[in-house]
A = this chain, B = another copy of it.
Amino acid sequence: MEPLQLYDFLPSGNGYKIRLLLTQLGIPFERVEVNITKGETRSPEFLSKNPNGKIPVLEIEPGKYLSESNAIMVYLSEGTEFLPYDRFLRAQVLQWLFFEQYSHEPFIATPRYWISVLGKAEQYKDALEEKHKGGYAALSLMEEHLKTHTFFVAERYTIADICLFAYTHVAHEGGFDLSRFPHIKAWIERVKAESRYISITQEL
């Protein structure tokens, strides 16, 4: 079988989710770098793969594309140890995945993009305040949950952990202070200890 093609941008946490899962599943894939800071996701060629102009995009068969990182995560993990089979547990995984995209990523990923990817902390100073407020709310909710859970769902490592881990463990690159969240920090270490773990900017 040909390796899967992953349209990706190395610093992206959304891209990293897919890279980490594919690696842990042992599924061969090739990265196609798309530099979002240079408008490469707005080219007609890329838009024909994802009209929403966002990475990651996974080509699962020639000409068959899937976008939205968390949809790709569910697709890849079905039938594996990374997604519970039980209906309610699977729904809880999805609950965290939607939480991540609605209440977490927009507040935690964007400051990191402004500060560490674009290097424009000063320009976005006012907007950062609002983002940090929402981001700390999401982190506080996670901290509370992790006080009584080792992983987010079913007391084991699932795609819920990978999806939340992607931007949480580099939140400091967006100006967040993770030292206020000891349970998150301990969970980050548990995720890093999983077999076949790779780091976010690890060249494959």
Contact = CB atoms under 8 A, between A and B. Distances in A.
A98 B70 contact: yes
The contact size tier of chain A is 20 to 34
Copies of the chain in the assembly:
2
Interface string A52-67: 1000000010001011
Interface string A106-142: 1000000000000000000000000000000000010
A14 B133 CA distance: 23
A51 interface: yes
A144 B51 contact: yes
A71 B88 contact: no
A35 interface: no
A38 interface: no
Interface of A: 51-52, 60, 64, 66-72, 74-75, 78, 87-88, 90-92, 94-95, 97-99, 101-103, 105-106, 141, 144-145
